[in-house]
Structure 1
Amino acid sequence: MNPIDMFALGINLNDDGTVLPGPRRMSGDSDGWTVAAFHVETDEDVHGDHWEMHPEADEAVCVLNGGARLYLRPEDGQEEPQEPVTLTSGTAFVVPRGRWHRLELDGPSDLMSITLRRGTRLERRLA
């Protein structure tokens, strides 16, 4: 039994009730939910130039340390986001299933995400 380095591996919460370490990835066909922690320095580290969407589940975006602004794209498909949700150390926001979103950092931060990655989509943000 060894501790799991959450900044190197994710934790997969499988449909059969098992909890196993596994690769951290933005999308995939895993059988269950993924819990992943990230140390990020720049907006590039959180693919700030892309919108992201999880069609099969909500996503909990958690700031463990640092700060970020989470933008939700309007549901009418327009590119201009609504006012950002400000996340500080120890706070989280639940992004609804199927809602396009992106992050911008306030500085170096430690983040955690919890979602079902199956079917995750990325779309390049227009300039």
Structure 2
Amino acid sequence: MDLIPVDLLTAVLRLRPGGTVTAEPRRMDADDEGWTVAVTHAETDQDVHGDHWEVHPGSDEAVCVLSGRARIVLRPEETDGAQTVVALAAGTGLVVPRGRWHRFELDAPSDLMSIALRSGSRLEQRA
């Protein structure tokens, strides 16, 4: 095995069944097996598709703020319900439940890390 550093801002780590970890190109349509660890540097809400809701039906998603400040907005589960907003500072994280639509809002430029099964993940334009 080659011991080569991986730029986590341009690649993802995939944690595969059987204990193998691979570095792979970043893509939204991943249907491969295994958990994905992704790091994103975001200057604005656009960098984290803040104009879209996102859902991961295959797993919970761990979202961590490595630096900066961000909010995770969870879409109401009932039609007449209110959105839930969770503020995260550097060094904190949140587990977004499987199948729960969510989006990001930045309070400052941030480095974010997410861990999830990406298979079946979808984006939906905000109304």
Normalised by the length of structure 1, the TM-score is 0.93
| TM alignment of 1:66-105, pairs within 5 A | 66-77=68-79, 81-82=83-84, 84-105=85-106
Q: Distance in 2 between matches of 1:98 and 1:89?
A: 25
Q: Distance in 2 between matches of 1:81 and 1:27?
A: 27
The one-letter amino acid of 1:104's match is E
Structure 2's unaligned 5+ residue stretches are none
Q: CA deviation at 1:78?
A: 5.3
Q: Distance in 1 between matches of 2:57 and 2:79?
A: 15
Q: RMSD across aligned C-alpha pairs, in angstroms?
A: 1.3
For residue 47 of structure 2, give the secondary structure of its aligned residue in structure 1: helix
Bigger Cα displacement from structure 2, 46-55 vs 72-81: 72-81
Q: CA deviation at 1:36?
A: 0.5
Structure 1's unaligned 5+ residue stretches are none
How many residues are matched?
125
Q: Distance in 2 between matches of 1:94 and 1:23?
A: 24
Q: Distance in 1 between matches of 2:34 and 2:43?
A: 28
| TM alignment of 1:1-127, pairs within 5 A | 1-77=3-79, 81-82=83-84, 84-126=85-127
Normalised by the length of structure 2, the TM-score is 0.93
State the 4+ residue runs in structure 1 displaced beyond 6 angstroms.
none
Q: CA deviation at 1:80?
A: 5.2
Q: Distance in 1 between matches of 2:35 and 2:61?
A: 10
Bigger Cα displacement from structure 2, 71-80 vs 88-97: 71-80
Q: Deviations over 1:28-70 (max 9, x none)?
A: 1111000000111010000000000000100001100001010
Q: Deviations over 1:93-114 (max 9, x none)?
A: 0000000000000121100000
Q: Distance in 2 between matches of 1:78 and 1:120?
A: 25
